Amino acid sequence: MVSVMVVDDHPIWREGVARDLGERGCDVVATAADGPAAVRIAPAVRPQVVLMDLNLGAGSGVEAIAGILAKLPATRVLVLSASGEHADVLEALKAGATGYLVKSAGVDELIDAVRRTADGVPVFTPGLAGLVLGEYRRLAGEPPRASGEPAVPALTERETEVLRLVAKGLTARQIGERLVLSHRTVESHVQNTLRKLQLHNRSQLVRYAIEQGLADD
């Protein structure tokens, strides 16, 4: 059972989503009507997933995402917003969100997205993922490193292969089946890659892979 906190400033929407999640087997541990309340409540209930609106009455959803993840880095944030604007998606991801759905999503799509988010799999409303990938690749152009600045640590061929599949949204078990490895071996490669790149979680790893163009088919 996935534990979820729902953050939305519209009571009817907030209560309706919480009810739908509960009826489909999720454990709704808390709700919040604004960003400051969400940042205050989250550490007390420690949800696996925070379902976050962006346009809140007090404080922005982006600020709340950053505030929650600063206290609970293992928690995943799935944005559920009325906005499908490219800039809003990118700001949410930069703050640390794992995925992004627009509110036109159906209940089944939402429940599936929450469960996948809990597993660390990036989930996007169809049509947004391509925009996000393209923008991250555009923004990834960086000036040359200054003389003497250390290069990014080299990954092994296997680590790169695993990273590429992580960026495509596959779980450790799915990657293991594809590469004929145990899921523990896959997780070991993921942890080694995180350590080499000095990243802290799977979401950051996915963003790194996107920036490097590893998510391309």
> What is the chain's pLDDT, residue by residue, as a tens digit (217 residues)?
899 999 999 999 999 999 999 999 999 999 999 999 999 999 999 999 999 999 887 778 899 999 999 999 899 999 998 887 777 888 888 888 888 888 888 899 899 999 989 988 888 886 666 556 555 555 545 444 444 443 445 678 888 888 888 888 788 889 999 999 888 898 888 888 887 776 777 777 777 787 677 766 5
d(CA 49, CA 120): 10
Residue 50 phi, psi (nearest 5): -105, 120
pLDDT value at residue 150: 38
Which run of H or E residues covers position 32? strand 27-32
Q: How far is CA 81 from CA 75, 78, 103, in A?
A: 19, 10, 5
Radius of gyration of the chain (CA): 18
pLDDT value at residue 145: 41
Give the distance, in angstroms, between the CA of residue 168 and the centroid of all CA atoms in the same chain: 13
Identity (one letter) of the amino acid at 102? V
**At what angle are helices 202-211 and 157-167 packed, to 10 degrees?**
100
Residues 6+ apart with CB under 8 A from 13: 103
pTM for this model (two decimals):
0.64
Contact present, 52 and 101 (Cβ < 8 Å)? no
The tokens of 124 are what?
A: 């996007």
pLDDT value at residue 146: 45
Total length of the chain:
217
